[in-house]
Structures are given as C-alpha cells and as structure tokens.
Amino acid sequence: MLYFDHNATTPPAPAVLAAMLPVFSDVWANPSSQHAPGQAAKRTLGAARTTVARALGCKPAEVIFTSGATESNHLAVRGLRDAAPVGRRRVVFGSVEHAGHLKLARALSDAGTPVSYLPVHADGTLDLRAAGELIGPDVALVSLMAANNETGVCMPVAEVAALAHAAGAPLHVDATQLIGKLPFDFARFGADAVSLSAHKFHGPKGVGALLLRQGVPWAPQTRGSQERARRGGTENLPGIVGLAAALDALGSASAMVAEAERLAALRDALERGLAQALPALHVWSQHAPRLPGTSYLRIGDLQAEVVLNRLERLGIAASSGAACSSGGSEPSHVLSAMGVPRDDALCAVRLSLGRTTTAQDVDFVVAMLPPLLMACSPFSPPPEP
Ligand code: PMP
C-alpha cells in the first residue's frame, strides 16, 4: 500500500514505539501516587513535558496534555470564552476550520453565544480585510487554524494575532496540521493558545496538547488536580512519552526545513506529472502559501469516488474532500467557503505526502493513474459492474 493520506494520520515512528513500550510495561503507576513507583511515573511525565516544551519553544508550565486536538480546541475555546470579561461574548472562528471545530462553533451559537466566521478568498487564503472588520471590542476570543487540513493553505497567524490583540482579545490557533510539517516556536508564534495532535507527526493517536501562554485568563473545563488543575484526569503517560519522542524525532529546525523542501518538490513533481497526462487536472490553492506535502485536486468532472476507486486498485490510499455519511456525500465545507460549485467540490481528492513518501512513490502515481483514468473517458463514472 502506498500511503498518500498523511494529513489524516501518520505511521508511528520506530523511535516512538521504542519510547512507549517500556512505559506500558514498567512505568504504569499513577503519577499522582506518593509511593516510589508513582514518583517514578511523575518524573517520566516531567521529563516528557520538558522535551515537549523544548521542541515547541514554550515553558513546561505552558503545556497541558490532552487526548488530542479536538479536546484541545474545545478546552481553548470554552476556557478562554468563560474567562473573558463581561461585555465580551462574541467568538470569532475561521470559516474553514476542522469539521469538529465548526460543530463546536454551532453548539455555542445554538446555546446563545454570538459567533462570527472569518471568510476566505477563492484561493483559500484568509480575507484579512474582513477579519479586521469582524474582530472588535465585543470579542471574547478568536479561534483560527494555522493550516487547512484539506487545501493545506497556511493562515496569516501573526496578522490575526495583531488584530485580536489590538481588540483586547486572545487568539487560539489550531496548529494540528502545521506542527511537525514546518518549524514551530510558540514564543514567536503570536497565539495565546495552540492545539496539536501527536498522530499527525508520527506520534500515537489519542494524545495531544494545548499550549496556553502563562498569564492568559482561562477557565478550566475538566476539573481535577492534574496538569496544574487545568485538565483533570490520570495522565496518558505512554501516549505523552510517545508525543515527546515524536517531537524529538522531527529533528532540528533546519532538518525540518530540508524535509519540507523535499516534500514540496515531490508534491510539485506529482502535480506537474499529472497535469501533463491529464489536461483536465485542477489543483486548488496551488499558488497560495500552503503546506509542503498537500495536493487538493480534481480531474475534470470525475467524481472523487471514481478516482479514489482507481487509486485503491493501484494500492494507493488517499482521501476525498467530501464528508460521506450513510450513503450520501456532502461537498467539503472548505471548498464551499471558497465559492467552489457543489459539482466540482464532489470531485475533490486530497493526496497528502509525508516523511515516508519517496520519489518512486510519486513516479508510480504519475505513471499508473492517468492511463486508468483515461480508460473511463470521457471522464464520467463507469457503469456499475
Ligand atoms: N484540527 C485539524 C486541523 C485536523 O486536521 C484534525 C485532524 N484531522 C483535528 C483538528 C482533530 O484532531 P484529532 O482527531 O487528533 O483530535
């Protein structure tokens, strides 16, 4: 199987498994216990926290371990909203946030919280002028993603931080797709709270963190004594050790830049090669600032499921931009926000490259996919078998 779905999740790195296994077998005591095994677990937790803080450019006390980005996003938004001064009630979300995060936005709105959405341009980049108009003195917080999981488009975090801070509001950033793909430094990032998930950068699933700048008013949501009383519940120590090991394995900032350049070159070769063989190819956000390994495309009017079926036959795992549920498909909300017509959006296929992707993998897709698709010319779905 050739894996072209690194934005969905990534395979755990060998160093991550090696770091986690002894924690399962040997360091299983509760870090809150006073006895010797508990204290050993507490030291392991502290060491992992220090590693995470060093890798992400924050203080150890600014790290809150969670079950992943979904929980971090909820904690950030509800925690910052609940701590906002009286008179600041409105929450501003990006319009192309992760689907789970937009569900939170809808839930807040249904419960009476005023909610606004930051629009994007046709190429998926943020409309900063509109952001300037929407972020005002009644805002409790702004919540924006750093990079989009479908298009890969990177958002202007520093500019939005300046707008939020000028309005007296904190900024939360969902950096789930950015961290691990490009160098990241919390101290210079501009956001007050940042979400991340370990499995997006070769760590384990079900563990992540919320980085919360010291001194930012925030109200805990899950009560308990752990994580300095900011997130209750016995810590997922093997997962946290795996998260730390995954960050460690990413290497230095310059090593990450080199990997990003390698991936961007592979992604460009993939898009160039497919475009040569398939003139009907359209790549969304191709000229916008985007993540190095993300390619979001449609091939004429070929439905996503047809392309994915051909990819599957070639042993290639990729994904569509549509949310499929019980037989029906809804076009991607990201493409809808970019003004893409429904019929085009239902043709969206995402190929996301990562550390395990090689030039041979890309050559294979470029050589094998077009002939299979030409066989279903004139680009209409084949009859049912
Ligand atoms: N935010 C973004 C931008 C994501 O891509 C994802 C995962 N697809 C999430 C949040 C949620 O991450 P998790 O499922 O690990 O909680």
How many other C-beta atoms can be found within 10 angstroms of the C-beta atom of residue 327?
5
Tell me, which fold does domain 14-249 have in CATH? Aspartate Aminotransferase; domain 2 (3.40.640)
Respond yes or no: is residue 324 known to be catalytic: yes
For the entire predicted model, the pTM comes to 0.96
Residue minimizing CA distance to atom 12 of ligand 1: 69
Report whether residue 75 contacts ligand 1, using a CB cutoff of 6 Å.
no
- 98 CB under 6 A from ligand 1? yes
Ligand 1 mutation pick, 6, 149, 172, 319, max ligand atoms within 8 A of CB: 149
Give the number of other Cβ atoms within 10 Å of residue 357's Cβ.
21
**Interval between CA 40 and ligand 1 midpoint (Å):** 32
Q: What is the pLDDT at residue 380?
A: 47
Q: Is 294 in the pocket of ligand 1 (CB under 6 A)?
A: no
CB environment 25-48: b (16+ within 10 A), e (fewer): eebebebeeeeeeeeebbebbeeb
Can you give the residue ranges of every domain in the chain? Answer: 2-7+252-372, 14-249
Q: Are 91 and 115 in contact (CB under 8 A)?
A: yes
Please give the structure tokens belonging to residue 195: 């979400």
Cis, peptide link before residue 217, omega less than 30° from 0: no
Q: Is 176 in the pocket of ligand 1 (CB under 6 A)?
A: yes
Per-residue pLDDT of the chain in tens (385 residues, 90 and over written 9): 999 999 999 999 999 999 999 999 999 999 999 999 999 999 999 999 999 999 999 999 999 999 999 999 999 999 999 999 999 999 999 999 999 999 999 999 999 999 999 999 999 999 999 999 999 999 999 999 999 999 999 999 999 999 999 999 999 999 999 999 999 999 999 999 999 999 999 999 999 999 999 999 999 999 999 999 999 999 999 999 999 999 999 999 999 999 999 999 999 999 999 999 999 999 999 999 999 999 999 999 999 999 999 999 999 999 997 766 555 589 999 999 999 999 999 999 999 999 999 999 999 999 999 999 988 655 444 445 4
Q: Is the dihedral of CA 278, 265, 177, 46 positive or negative?
A: positive
Dihedral, 65, 99, 201, 161 alpha carbons, nearest 10: -70
Distance 382 CA to ligand 1 centre (A): 34
Among 6, 70, 71, which is best to mutate for testing ligand 1, by the most ligand atoms less than 8 A from CB? Answer: 70
CA–CA separation, 334 and 324 (whole Å) = 15
Are 201 and 250 in contact by the 8 Å Cβ rule? The answer is yes
For residue 67, count CB atoms less than 10 angstroms from its CB and return exposed for 0-12, middle for 13-18, buried for 19 or more.
Answer: middle
Q: State which ligand 1 atom lies nearest to the alpha carbon of 8.
A: 8
CATH, range 2-7+252-372: 3.90.1150.10
pLDDT for position 255: 97
Tokens in use for 34?
Answer: 């006073």
Ligand 1 site, residue 151, Cβ cutoff 6 A: no
Which of 197, 200, 319, when mutated, tests ligand 1's pocket best, judged by the most ligand atoms within 8 Å of its CB? 197
Report whether residue 145 contacts ligand 1, using a CB cutoff of 6 Å: yes
